Amino acid sequence: MRLCVKFLLPVIISWSMLVFSSGVEIVELTESNFETNIKRMKCMFLYATEDNCEKCKLLFHKFLITAQTFERERDITFGKVSDKTLINAFEVTSFPGIVYYEYGSAVPKVYLGDITPTALAKVVSDAMKIDFKKVDRHFALQLTKDNFDEIMDTDKQYRLVMLHEADDEDEVDLYEEIAETYENEPDVVIARINIDSERKLRKQYSSYTYPSFYWYRKGDAKKKKRYGGDLNVNQMISFINKEGGFFRTKGGRLNPYAGLVKPLDEVINKYGKDLYEIRNIDQIKQELEKEIAKLPADQDKELTKYYLHLIDEIEEDRTIETLDESRNRLFRQMSGAGPLEFDQLVRKKNVIQKIIDIIGLHLLEQISDGNIDVPLDADVSYGFEEHGLEFHEEL
């Protein structure tokens, strides 16, 4: 049921607004100020949260990046809403939620897609009836004295922060390439601080040459590493991949190692010939389940179950050709998938390809009587390249 603008009457006309130094205004929307804001807006884009929602906190920087992308557009208002009356009226049922009003409309809509800077920028562009292709999109979050604590006071995410001077435009452009690479990763924040406009934040760091870079580990909100070298996009992507266990290539694509779980691959490798001959399947599944039980709690359970699902399909169809069928099914699902779903499908495709490669190597070994040059335990690095950067601990 769509909600008309007149569903609420103001109780007390009072409203608060957070004005970030970058020019972004985030309205704190409540039942009491709703009528005031709805009257003055032409287009509105809201981030709906609920108390104790950890995911809401971790994804807010994606929303804030979108707001900074459109900071020069005066016809749109960005806001946050946690007022339960408004939440219920908007009919938001999952969090964080995105509620928006198209240009000139009094009827709110709820966006149910992925929360990434590109996906949200597309929704905003459509709502404002502007050409998405002409939007100068941002991917690195600009930190200010107003948003710094909210974004950085967390031990749930990795964070890379660049300190730069106002005229470091070329360096900021290169840094945006790094940020774009990780726009679909909720566990890492790529941020920057303009030291000329944020002098108070500058004092929190010891650098005197710019740009300079700081890396914050997941699990420690305050401790950071400092790197004072030149900005090298590929090296820094390699560093972030290795530190955070990511598998991104420049531009944001996933490399062929994304989704692979090494202990499970080792089980598959052990039984490569058996899989081809469709035998000892119960034993293979038992060993996979044993290794899955040892994995960290934050391991992607959908992917570990997918290993078992593929073995079940091989057992049911009595042929490894079912792997090709599963891969083709994933390709069909990729059409029209959102960015996060697309990434997960790529990870699953990589799992299928790994199993196919392992079986193929066993067959090659069998055909050549064991005299092959390619070891069955190749790719032990699982895609983590040396980055060549020296980061130094700093309290």
pLDDT digits (tens, 9 = 90+) for 4-40: 434 443 332 233 444 444 557 888 988 888 777 777 7
In which element (H, E) is residue 189 found?
strand 188-194
Q: Do domains 5-134 and 141-255+386-394 have the same CATH topology?
A: yes
Q: Do residues 267 and 287 make contact, with C-beta atoms less than 8 angstroms apart?
A: yes
pLDDT digits (tens, 9 = 90+) for 95-104: 999 999 999 8
> 3 vs 227, which has greater pLDDT?
227
Would the pLDDT of 387 be above 70? no
Longest CA–CA separation in the chain, Å = 83
Q: Do residues 100 and 92 make contact, with C-beta atoms less than 8 angstroms apart?
A: no
Name every residue whose Cβ is closer than 8 Å to that of residue 380 and which is 6 or more positions away in sequence: none
Would the pLDDT of 1 be above 70? no
Burial of 323 (C-beta count, 10 Å sphere; 0-12/13-18/19+): buried
Tell me the pLDDT of the chain averaged across its residues.
Answer: 87
Q: Where are the domains of the chain?
A: 5-134, 141-255+386-394, 262-367
> 333 vs 230, which has greater pLDDT?
333
Task: Please state, for a pLDDT cut of 70, what percent of the chain lies above it.
Answer: 86
- Dihedral in degrees, nearest 10, Cα atoms 122, 128, 129, 131: -50
Query: 2 — phi, psi (to 5°)?
Result: -80, 150
* Mean pLDDT of the 304-308 span: 98
Would the pLDDT of 393 be above 70? no
| Sequence letter at residue 23 | G
Would the pLDDT of 117 be above 50? yes
Q: How far is CA 236 from CA 175, 257, 318, 336, 385, in A?
A: 10, 18, 46, 31, 11
Confidence band, pLDDT 50/70/90 cuts, at residue 120? very high
* Mean pLDDT of the 35-46 span: 79
> 222 vs 8, which has greater pLDDT?
222
Fold of 5-134: Glutaredoxin (3.40.30)
Give the architecture-level CATH label for domain 262-367.
Answer: Up-down Bundle (1.20)
Would the pLDDT of 56 be above 90? yes
Task: Please state, for a pLDDT cut of 90, what percent of the chain lies above it.
Answer: 71
CATH 1.20.120.530 is right for the domain spanning 141-255+386-394: no
Q: What integer pLDDT is reported at residue 380 of this predicted model? A: 45
Confidence band, pLDDT 50/70/90 cuts, at residue 3? very low
